[in-house]
Chains A and B, each alone.
Chain A
Amino acid sequence: MAEFPPPVRRISSEQAPNVVDPATRQEIPEPIARALAPSYGPERLRIDEVSIHYAGSARPAVNRVTLPVRQGEVLALIGPSGCGKTTLLRSLNRLVELTPGATRDGRILLDGDDIDQLEITRLRRRVSMIFQQPNPFPMSIFDNVAYAIREQAMRRPGKAVLQPRVEKALRRAGLWDEVADDLGRPALRLSGGQQQRLCIARALAVEPDVLLMDEPCSALDPISTGVVEELIHELRQNLAIVIVTHNLAQARRVGDHVAFMYLGDLVEYAPTEELFTNPRADRTRDYVQGAFG
């Protein structure tokens, strides 16, 4: 296997290195740290000094955040409401540009390419997104997934071409067995959890490199949540996943790294267990222990 860059240890100069021994609080020598770290894939997305301002607000919604997103890992963004985590997520496929008055500074690199240089439709197929509310389109299950695949070309691919790709996406999202007998039925007749997995299938159908998830389980019941979390676990092998969640237990369950944001600042970025058991910043400790939220 190729040499992967080691997990990024410093997120900005004034912050302490994050690979520390929980027992001694001593920095672990890098070779050992690399051995201890789970085997992440290559870095797919790099958030580099990104700030986002909304017109009419003095404070930036996101303030000079630097984060790596690697394949094979789930990066969980946590923090209280209004801390900028969703704004940051939405900037990764430039959806934030749809909000009037939003401006971004800093660079976001997808496999080394500045996303501002990529064609926007192409970028969004490589970095696709799951939303808080399950939002299948008012069409059949098949068409929901096929819609994602169909290119804006003059000649649309026929059903025979689409069928295997739709099936593959539905299988990856763990929905195939439940819907295979009737792909023609309206997607809105599915249960909430099934709808959300359909949305995941839809997002996977474009074969993205990065999957963004904005509180994907907050509208789901606990059982559906469990199914989706299981899915996140499986998907991360082939994808880099960034998930925004309000649910600390969920961040702990699905995240490999956790980034804690507060009022637009990235307060702490660390491997999940470390952030929860041994946070460096006081604010992180207060938050993960439930002192505020």
Chain B
Amino acid sequence: MSVPVGPGGRRSRRDRLLGELRLWRPLDLIGVGAAWLVGILLVLVAASLLIYMGYRGLQYVNLDLLFSRPQPGSDQSQTGGILDPIVGTLMIIVIATAIALPLAVGAALWIVEYGKPRWLARVVESGIEVIAGAPSIAIAIFGLAIFQLPMFSWASFSAADGGGVFGRSFIAAGTVMSLIAVPSIFATTREALQSVPRHVREASYGLGKTRWATIRRVLLPTVRPDIATGTALGMGRIAGDTAIIVLLLGATLQLQAGTDIPGIGTLQGTGSTLTSYVYNNSPTGEGNAPEKAYAAAFVLMLLIIALNVLVAFIGRRRAGNDLPR
């Protein structure tokens, strides 16, 4: 078949592509065209979202907004900043990750390295899948039912004179929120462990090492980048969840300590995060402060983009230090 040849005797990229396409079947051409179209469309959606949010956000974000506390008020000029939601978001991320990380990594280690009894491993795996698929509002209302039990009165605060347990606090929200992060940490850790070749474990056992020494000194260091990736993804999901915050943190305007104990009182108290702040202040919410809602949404988006960049960075670092497969 004769093909057009570019200058210098070498076919140019464009000619090569056209020549290649000519060999394709019509149906394949349509398929590839559709794939391109959909891809470009998705990029456009993402780009317009980013550009619009960036435009609105940059318009309203300023240092004063970031570092002043929200205040009640009937007009946007009186309602203060978003310091409390930012602090709330970070607190929830820290609490939920601190719970989810050991839980998910432990579960993955147990399933891949021990996996006995097998039926229990299956049950745990599908349990985590159910959590991954459950709407967070369903998880939230279940969590509320739990944390309103009298036995959890220490986790939030109770009405005076032995009244009901409020069930809303950083402890409650953070604990339930950890379930949102468990599936992604669990899945990445499990897959990473499964992709560690058997002979690597055996090399450690072959040196007379116990299973636990092998896990701690060989397997965990090997899969650490994957755990970090899963954790960063999970943090993104935590930062982005609204339902659990509204039901279990109370979504109050300011941080409100639950008891007088310093530090712990805050954990027992209510507050808000950026998501609940956006929810409450969007034009449909009761606060009706759209400018601040846009600003908060922009800050939240930056936070999640930062987490994604972190994921990509970890992924790149991993490539240089990989095990032979």
Binds A, one of B131-139, B171-179, B217-225: B217-225
Contact B208 A121 (CB under 8 A): yes
- Which residues of chain B come closer than 8 Å to A93, judged between CB atoms? 206
Tell me, yes or no, whether B74 is within 8 Å of chain A by CB.
no
Contact B324 A131 (CB under 8 A): no
Tell me, yes or no, whether A54 is within 8 Å of chain B by CB.
no
Residue of B nearest to A212 (CB): B206
Interface size on A, residues (CB 8 A): 31
Binds A, one of B11-19, B96-104, B195-203, B238-246: B195-203
Interface size on B, residues (CB 8 A): 22
Tell me, yes or no, whether A203 is within 8 Å of chain B by CB.
yes
With A and B bound together, what is the CA distance between A128 and B222 in angstroms? Answer: 22
- Which residues of chain B come closer than 8 Å to A148, judged between CB atoms? 207
Do A137 and B217 contact each other (CB < 8 Å), given the known contacts A131-B199, A188-B321, A188-B323? Answer: yes
Residue among A134, A139, A186, A202 making CB contact with B207, cutoff 8 Å: A202
Tell me, yes or no, whether B322 is within 8 Å of chain A by CB.
yes
Tell me, yes or no, whether A98 is within 8 Å of chain B by CB.
yes
- Which residues of chain A come closer than 8 Å to B217, judged between CB atoms? 137, 139, 147
Tell me, yes or no, whether B213 is within 8 Å of chain A by CB.
yes
Contact A133 B197 (CB under 8 A): yes
Contact B222 A98 (CB under 8 A): no
Tell me, yes or no, whether A57 is within 8 Å of chain B by CB.
no
- Which residues of chain B come closer than 8 Å to A132, judged between CB atoms? 199
Q: Closest approach, in angstroms, between the C-beta of B173 and any C-beta of chain A? A: 37
With A and B bound together, what is the CA distance between A50 and B304 in angstroms? Answer: 60
Q: Mark A110-143, 1 if CB is under 8 A from B, else 0.
A: 0000000000111111001101111101110000
Tell me, yes or no, whether B154 is within 8 Å of chain A by CB.
no
Q: Closest approach, in angstroms, between the C-beta of A92 and any C-beta of chain B? A: 11
Contact A95 B206 (CB under 8 A): yes
With A and B bound together, what is the CA distance between A49 and B74 in angstroms? Answer: 90
With A and B bound together, what is the CA distance between A194 and B42 in angstroms? Answer: 47
Residue of B nearest to A186 (CB): B321
Q: Mark A88-122, 1 if CB is under 8 A from B, else 0.
A: 00000101001000000000000000000000111
- Which residues of chain B come closer than 8 Å to A120, judged between CB atoms? 208
Contact A139 B206 (CB under 8 A): no
Residue among B208, B218, B221, B324 making CB contact with A124, cutoff 8 Å: B208
With A and B bound together, what is the CA distance between A147 and B209 in angstroms? Answer: 9
- Which residues of chain B come closer than 8 Å to A129, judged between CB atoms? 202-203, 206
Tell me, yes or no, whether B59 is within 8 Å of chain A by CB.
no
With A and B bound together, what is the CA distance between A98 and B113 in angstroms? Answer: 11
Q: Closest approach, in angstroms, between the C-beta of A205 and any C-beta of chain B? A: 8
Q: Closest approach, in angstroms, between the C-beta of A63 and any C-beta of chain B? A: 24
- Which residues of chain A come closer than 8 Å to B324, judged between CB atoms? 133-135, 188, 195, 219
Contact B205 A98 (CB under 8 A): yes
- Which residues of chain B come closer than 8 Å to A186, judged between CB atoms? 321
Tell me, yes or no, whether B254 is within 8 Å of chain A by CB.
no
Q: Closest approach, in angstroms, between the C-beta of B138 and any C-beta of chain A? A: 38
With A and B bound together, what is the CA distance between A128 and B207 in angstroms? Answer: 6
Tell me, yes or no, whether A26 is within 8 Å of chain B by CB.
no
- Which residues of chain A come closer than 8 Å to B205, judged between CB atoms? 95, 98, 124
Tell me, yes or no, whether A47 is within 8 Å of chain B by CB.
no
Tell me, yes or no, whether B126 is within 8 Å of chain A by CB.
no
With A and B bound together, what is the CA distance between A219 and B202 in angstroms? Answer: 18
Q: Closest approach, in angstroms, between the C-beta of B40 and any C-beta of chain A? A: 39
With A and B bound together, what is the CA distance between A138 and B223 in angstroms? Answer: 10
Do A137 and B202 contact each other (CB < 8 Å), given the known contacts A128-B207, A186-B321? Answer: no
Report A130-165 residues with CB < 8 Å from chain B CB: 131-135, 137-139, 147-148, 152
Pick the most buried of B205, B213, B321: most chain A CB atoms within 10 A of its CB. Answer: B205
Contact A137 B222 (CB under 8 A): yes
Residue of B nearest to A139 (CB): B221
With A and B bound together, what is the CA distance between A128 and B202 in angstroms? Answer: 11
Residue of B nearest to A147 (CB): B217
Q: Mark B313-325, 1 if CB is under 8 A from A, else 0.
A: 0000000011110
Give B residues with C-beta under 8 Å from A.
Answer: 197, 199-210, 213, 217-218, 221-222, 321-324
* 12 sampled A-B residue pairs with Cβ under 8 A: A95-B206, A121-B208, A124-B206, A129-B202, A134-B324, A137-B204, A147-B217, A152-B209, A186-B321, A188-B324, A195-B324, A206-B208
Shortest 8 CB-CB distances between A and B: which pairs?
Answer: A125-B208, A124-B208, A129-B206, A121-B208, A131-B199, A148-B207, A135-B203, A135-B200
